[in-house]
Amino acid sequence: MARALYGPGGFFVRERPADHFRTSAHASPLFAAALARLVCQVDTALGAPATLDLVDVGAGRGELLTALLAELPPPVRARVRPIGVEVTMRSWDGISWRTDLPRGLTGVLLATEWLDNIPLDLARDGRYLDTGLNPGDPLSPADAAWAERWWPAGPDEVIEIGRTRDEAWADAVAAVSAGLALAVDYGHLREHRPPRSTATGFRHGREVPPAFDGSTDITCHVAMDSAAAAAGPDHVLLRQRDALHRLGVDGRRPPLTLASTDPIAYVRALSTAGAGAELTAPAGLGAHWWLAHPVALPHPLPLLP
């Protein structure tokens, strides 16, 4: 998975994520607008620092950062230092790009659909599986301990060892000195682990079998509870649907009376409602998880009561 995605000529080294799959970041500007409201809440809780870091880890081509910056009120925007972290460096007006995590951040660190692309191992009956799902070496003590704590499985069941995601997320949260770290991703909790492997490929908008030659994306759902625990006890884990409702996004249709009083406003509101409905759909993007870790925030955030 690591070689196919990030090795020489690997999928993400070559490709633009948005050409292959659609995340919340691409579904609608409502997502960036909601995150902008969250960034403002963090800014207020931090007492409007002179520099507010805004870091997007796994930033693709900077689509979310660009949309988010456009949604921020000018007095906040003027203090924001936007940073995109990606496996290959990009250059973009107004955004600093880097391949490693910056440290000592004051502000917000975002990671939307990043953790599901962190390479992991599959295992069955205490042994690693190769890409053809054939058993190989026994699990290392650290992976065996992870499996026992987070994914106890019966004979013949395939598990996805999330330790690499836990470590990546703990490291990202540790990069924030004050503010908020937020991961948004699809995943599962211990009591509802999937019965079979979630390894999936995407190419040009289609779901395809994962290929390990760099020709497809390869993604596995995220064990959100283990990632949460790895990064510290002070966190909130909620569904995107609930998070977006708290940030003022929903899929409610405008009142029909608006159609006769202001038809243009009605059509606009209908379109917004459609985008809100997609982002909050209980069986779609709305079922994604928001894992939020506040760090040294003097005041609680409205998102995280």
Which residue, 86 or 121, has its beta carbon nearer to ligand SAM?
86
Which residue, 38 or 139, has its beta carbon nearer to ligand SAM?
38
What 3-state class would DSSP assign to 76?
Answer: helix
**193 with 159: CB under 8 angstroms?**
yes
Query: Which residue in 41, 106, 117, 272 binds ligand SAM (CB under 6 A)?
Result: 117
What 3-state class would DSSP assign to 152?
Answer: coil
**244 with 250: CB under 8 angstroms?**
yes
216 forms part of the interface with ligand SAM (CB under 6 A):
no
**264 with 289: CB under 8 angstroms?**
no
290 forms part of the interface with ligand SAM (CB under 6 A):
no
- Cα 138 from Cα 142, distance rounded (Å): 11
186 forms part of the interface with ligand SAM (CB under 6 A):
no
187 forms part of the interface with ligand SAM (CB under 6 A):
no
Query: Which residue in 28, 41, 112, 272 binds ligand SAM (CB under 6 A)?
Result: 112
Element (H, E) at 122: strand 121-124
Residues 136, 141, 142, 148, CA torsion sign: positive
60 forms part of the interface with ligand SAM (CB under 6 A):
yes
Query: Which residue in 114, 146, 186, 290 binds ligand SAM (CB under 6 A)?
Result: 114
Which residue, 12 or 290, has its beta carbon nearer to ligand SAM?
12
**109 with 176: CB under 8 angstroms?**
yes
The piece of 20-28, 171-179, 246-254, 291-299 that touches ligand SAM (CB under 6 A) is: 20-28
Q: Which residue is nearest to ligand SAM (CB)?
A: 58
Q: How far apart are CB 64 and ligand SAM at their closest, in Å?
A: 6
Which residue, 115 or 139, has its beta carbon nearer to ligand SAM?
115
86 forms part of the interface with ligand SAM (CB under 6 A):
yes
Q: How far apart are CB 47 and ligand SAM at their closest, in Å?
A: 29
169 forms part of the interface with ligand SAM (CB under 6 A):
no
H-helix segments, the chain: 2-6, 11-14, 24-27, 29-45, 63-71, 74-77, 141-150, 163-174, 224-230, 240-246, 257-261, 263-280
- Cα 164 from Cα 166, distance rounded (Å): 5
87 forms part of the interface with ligand SAM (CB under 6 A):
yes
Which residue, 125 or 167, has its beta carbon nearer to ligand SAM?
167
**79 with 50: CB under 8 angstroms?**
yes
**176 with 102: CB under 8 angstroms?**
no
The piece of 82-90, 128-136, 242-250, 271-279 that touches ligand SAM (CB under 6 A) is: 82-90
Query: Which residue in 85, 223, 279, 303 binds ligand SAM (CB under 6 A)?
Result: 85
66 forms part of the interface with ligand SAM (CB under 6 A):
no
**222 with 189: CB under 8 angstroms?**
no
State the residues that interact with ligand SAM by CB under 6 A.
12, 17, 23, 25-26, 57-60, 64, 85-87, 112-114, 117
